[in-house]
C-alpha cells in the first residue's frame, strides 16, 4: 500500500511538472542606440547632440491591444524633445503623449480588429544631450493590455523591464586643430633655432 501512494504522488508531481503551462515573461527594453544591432542598454553621446531611445517589446505571445509606460530621466543632463509611436499596433491611437521632466509618459491603444504579437518598437523618444553627466533611463508604470475578443481585455503579465543609461561627454577637440597647433609650434621652434644659429 505504501508503494502505491508514492507512485500516485510521483505521478501527480510528474504531471504538474510537464503539463502545467509555463508563463514566459514579456520583455520591455530601452534601446539607447537603435542604429546598432541588438538592444543596447548604455551609450555615450557628445553634449549638444540628439539621441533616440526606442521602447521595444519582445517575446509577446498574447495579442496586444494597448500599452502605457513612463520613462524617468535626469533633466539636468537630458532634455526630452519628442515621443512618437513606433507603429507596432496595427491601428494605433495615441491617448497620452506627455513630456513632463523628469519623465516621458506615453500610452496608445489599437482601434482595429487585428492586434500585434511578437517583437517590435512601441515608441521612440528623442532626447537632447544638454549637459555633462549621466542619466539613468528607468521604465515604470508599465501596463500592457491584451484582448481575446470584443470586451475581453486583460493585463499581460509578467513583464520584465530592462532600463538604459546615457552618458554625456564634452565636445572633443577636433584632431585637425590639434594637428595645426602642433605644426605651428614646430615652425615657431624651427624659426627660433635658426635665429639662434645665425647669431653664432
pLDDT tens, position by position, 162-199 = 999 999 998 776 666 666 667 777 767 766 666 666 66
Would you say the pTM of this structure is higher than 0.85?
no
Task: Report, as an integer, the average pLDDT of 134-145.
Answer: 97
Task: Take residue 49 and report the three cell numbers written for it.
Answer: 547632440
pLDDT single digits (tens) 47-59: 999 999 999 999 9
Please name each of the domains of the chain with its CATH number.
24-177 (2.60.40.680)
pLDDT for residue 17 is more than 50: no
Task: Take residue 1 and report the three cell numbers written for it.
Answer: 500500500
pLDDT for residue 147 is more than 70: yes
Instruction: Report the percent of the chain where pLDDT is more than 90.
Output: 66
pLDDT single digits (tens) 30-83: 999 999 999 999 999 999 999 999 999 999 999 999 999 999 999 999 999 999
Instruction: Report the percent of the chain where pLDDT is more than 70.
Output: 76
* In the chain, beta strands by DSSP E: 26-31, 42-46, 50-72, 78-85, 92-100, 103-110, 116-129, 133-149, 152-155, 159-162, 164-169
pLDDT in the model for residue 184: 72
Amino acid at each position: 500500500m505504501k508503494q502505491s501512494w508514492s507512485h500516485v504522488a510521483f505521478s501527480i508531481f510528474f504531471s504538474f511538472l510537464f503539463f502545467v503551462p509555463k508563463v514566459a515573461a514579456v520583455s520591455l527594453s530601452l534601446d539607447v542606440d537603435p542604429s546598432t544591432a541588438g538592444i543596447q542598454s548604455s551609450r555615450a553621446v557628445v553634449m549638444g547632440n540628439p539621441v533616440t531611445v526606442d521602447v521595444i517589446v519582445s517575446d509577446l505571445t498574447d495579442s496586444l491591444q494597448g500599452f502605457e509606460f513612463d520613462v524617468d530621466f535626469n533633466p539636468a543632463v537630458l532634455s526630452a524633445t519628442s515621443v512618437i509611436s513606433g507603429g507596432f499596433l496595427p491601428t494605433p491611437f495615441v491617448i497620452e503623449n506627455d513630456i513632463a521632466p523628469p519623465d516621458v509618459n506615453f500610452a496608445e491603444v489599437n482601434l482595429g480588429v487585428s492586434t500585434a504579437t511578437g517583437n517590435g518598437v512601441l515608441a521612440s523618444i528623442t532626447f537632447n544631450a544638454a549637459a555633462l553627466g549621466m542619466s539613468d533611463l528607468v521604465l515604470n508604470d508599465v501596463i500592457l493590455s491584451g484582448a481575446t475578443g470584443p470586451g475581453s481585455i486583460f493585463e499581460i503579465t509578467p513583464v520584465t523591464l530592462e532600463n538604459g543609461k546615457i552618458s554625456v561627454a564634452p565636445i572633443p577637440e577636433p584632431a585637425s586643430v590639434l594637428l595645426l597647433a602642433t605644426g605651428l609650434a614646430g615652425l615657431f621652434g624651427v624659426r627660433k633655432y635658426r635665429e639662434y644659429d645665425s647669431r653664432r
